[in-house]
Amino acid sequence: MFKNLQNKTVLVTGGAGFIGSNLCETLLSNNIKTVCLDNFSTGKRQNIEPFLSNNKFSLIEGDIRNLEDCHTACKDVDYVLHQAALGSVPRSINDPITTNDVNVSGFLNMLVAARDAKVIRFVYAASSSTYGDHEALPKVEDIIGKPLSPYAITKYVNELYADIFQKSYGLDTIGLRYFNVFGKRQDPDGAYAAVIPLFVKQFINHNSPIINGDGNYSRDFTYIENVIQMNILAITTNNKEALNTVYNVAFGERTTLLELTTLLKKHLSAFDESIKDIVIKHREHRVGDIPHSLASVNKAKKLLNYNPRYNINDGIKEAVSWYWKNLK
């Protein structure tokens, strides 16, 4: 899978973030020259510290909202894995202007810089939030509803811009609609922490996690290794039919929040038996949340030979082990 990347350079925007740093690690472990662009607004220096001594790794501290930074980062780059964004539905509701500046204006800057640098392919992080109020399950790529948050709007706009850049300038793109990604290096702290690292930290500290609603909302939780596989497939595929479209990135199974807490208790109890007795609390549903999410990954399997190896149980087991070592 990596042989097509030998003697190539890959730019990872947001490379100090959760997904970005895992991508950098994978590329470097396969001896691929890797450039990281990050402004450290949400990314962490500690995530990339192990890479700084690697002569295949370059760090550019810059902001995708600055076109000059984007041009600098894209210089002599063959492929772009664009992960830089401001995530979180609640954050976008609280501050739609900044979310739009980063996710739309910053995305456009990166497309322009990639076009000008004549990169071979631009692969970007799209989002399952694009499905909006469309209720049918599983989600298939060509049927979406109306967005339910400013964040969802920005990620849909990314898809529209990517399509136009291919048609107008010939820049090949692939959008990856991530479904609730989790795994090592996902930040458990802050107001907009994702549910899995947040709950893991609370369990480790013997605090009661709080579920929004009755706990029957469900998600297609997707372990980071499945996401890495899709990104690498997207930049290495030789299948022309696979280009200039979007794909769901998920495992293809849904788990309720109550089932999730049961799994977390199960695997954390292997380290601390008392965790199994921690009580779960509930509060009102959160504005902008969709009730259920489940992806069809048939398109990715057919066109990219995607084969997700980690289901929710296997992924939680791996993630919990990492958090136990790094949060204690």
CA–CA dist 149, 289 (Å, integer) = 9
- For residue 204, the surrounding DSSP H or E stretch is helix 195-204
CA–CA dist 246, 153 (Å, integer) = 16
| pLDDT recorded at residue 288 | 62
151 belongs to the catalytic site: yes
- Active-site entry in 79, 124, 131, 151: 151
Map tokens 């082990």 to a residue: 321
Q: 8-182+223-252 belongs to which CATH class?
A: alpha beta
| pLDDT recorded at residue 190 | 72
Whether the CB-CB separation of 304 and 123 falls below 8 Å is answered with no
Q: Can you give the pLDDT of all 328 residues of the chain as single tens digits?
A: 787 898 999 999 999 999 999 999 999 999 999 999 999 999 999 999 999 999 999 999 999 999 999 999 999 999 999 999 998 888 999 999 999 999 999 999 999 999 999 999 999 999 999 999 898 999 999 999 999 899 999 999 999 999 999 999 999 999 999 999 999 999 888 766 789 999 999 999 999 999 988 999 999 999 999 999 999 999 999 999 999 999 999 999 999 999 999 999 999 999 999 999 999 999 888 766 778 889 999 999 999 999 999 999 999 999 999 999 988 6
Alpha carbon 1 to its chain centroid, in Å, reads 20
In the chain, where the domains are located:
8-182+223-252
- The radius of gyration of the chain's CA atoms, rounded to the nearest angstrom, is 19
Whether the CB-CB separation of 172 and 120 falls below 8 Å is answered with yes
| pLDDT recorded at residue 126 | 97
The residues, ordered by sequence, that sit 6+ positions from 317 with a Cβ below 8 Å of its Cβ are: 267
CA–CA dist 310, 98 (Å, integer) = 34
Whether the bond into 50 is cis, omega within 30 of 0: no
| pLDDT recorded at residue 64 | 98
CA–CA dist 221, 294 (Å, integer) = 9
The residues, ordered by sequence, that sit 6+ positions from 157 with a Cβ below 8 Å of its Cβ are: 103, 104, 107
Two tokens, residue 224: 């980071």
Two tokens, residue 15: 């490379």
CA-CA distances (angstroms) from residue 163 to 74, 149, 155, 169? Answer: 20, 22, 13, 10
DSSP-assigned letter for residue 9: E
| pLDDT recorded at residue 116 | 98
| pLDDT recorded at residue 328 | 67
